[in-house]
A and B are shown apart, each in its own frame.
Chain A
Amino acid sequence: MSRFHKHDVAKAQLQTAVSMFLEGRDRSSVVTLAGAASGILDALVRCSGKEAFLDYARRVRQELSGQTPKRSAYSHHINTLLGVIAHKHLWEEDSDTIELDLEEQAAGALSRAIADYISLNGQDEPFVKAFLSWSWRNQDGPGLMEKFKQAPKRLKPR
């Protein structure tokens, strides 16, 4: 029996998820591991007094629609969009099949978890750099940075 801090549990799962993603391995596993890491990192970011990804997303939603969604409901909404729910829950009334874009969802689930990880630890660790480098090359990093610069301050992370 050994003692572990939940930060280390989240980090280990996120490292595995990034490694599997960059090696082109199973996307379902990437979604689940990144989702699990986020479930812990979200609380740790808030404990540190910083703005978690979920709260930033709620703030953006508020700016765009004028309504701030409830935290738990929006968390469930994002987890559904990213495919996290479909990989860890199944109810009797659910269909036998489901349509998913696993490539997009794996990248999205990793982006969310990495955002919270960076809030806590910065972006100098190799696995973080590796994912950011992939994202820059494959998700139009320069274009996104241009949009980010032009966005009003109220739409930027705190």
Chain B
Amino acid sequence: MSVKTYTRFELAENQLTSAIGLFVSGRDRFSVMTLAGAADVLLSRLVMNQGRENFTQLLAKSETEKAGTPVAVAAHGRAINDLLFINQLKHMDDGDDAFIDLDPEECALAAISKALVNYVALAGDQKDIVLAFKGWAWRNLDPTKYSVHGPARTDTSGDEA
């Protein structure tokens, strides 16, 4: 027996770190989605506990402004999780369809991105996992599709453009 005390943030950060590690090393996308999804649940609550709005709340607010009618946060959160198949990867009821149709690469990328928004709200954008994921995104994602920006560069050549 080795009982230790963990902060909720540690549990979330460790899972998100694993998710990003698995993702950038090309390993199983379902595992990435499940880990990022679990981390995001904890991170979303921790952001709220600080009296701030988490990613889902910000998105629901934006949707409300666009639609002109109130968008319920809980329903919006469920819809996002359904879109990313978060629940489908960890649960199956009697009578459920045993097949799912999804794009694991897109869903894994989206699940990490969603969790990272909440992580950055709590820990800032200079932590190792944030920089590692941003670096991967800059090198691997199509900037015209994902609006990825490269890291800020310091010109050391002495030349002026």
Contacts and interface: CB of A to CB of B under 8 A. Distances in A.
Contacts of A96: 7-8
B14 A92 contact: no
B14 A36 contact: no
B100 interface: yes
Contacts of A7: 98
A85 B61 CA distance: 29
A40 interface: yes
A51 to B, nearest CB: 15
A86 to B, nearest CB: 7
Contact of B34 (A5, A13, A90): A13
Contacts of B27: 16
- Chain A interface size, as a band, is 35 or more
Contacts of A104: 1-2
Contacts of A20: 18
Contact of B91 (A15, A40, A46, A87): A40
Contact of B15 (A3, A4, A16, A28): A28
Given A9-B30, A28-B15, A102-B4, A39 B101 contact: no
- Chain B interface size, as a band, is 35 or more
B94 A46 contact: yes
B45 A91 contact: yes
A26 interface: yes
Interface secondary structure of A, over-half rule:
helix
Contact of B90 (A36, A44, A101): A36
A13 B30 contact: yes
Interface in B24-79: 27-28, 30-31, 34-35, 37-38, 41-42, 45-46, 48-49
A40 B92 contact: yes
Interface of B: 1-8, 11, 14-15, 17-19, 22, 27-28, 30-31, 34-35, 37-38, 41-42, 45-46, 48-49, 88-94, 96, 98-104
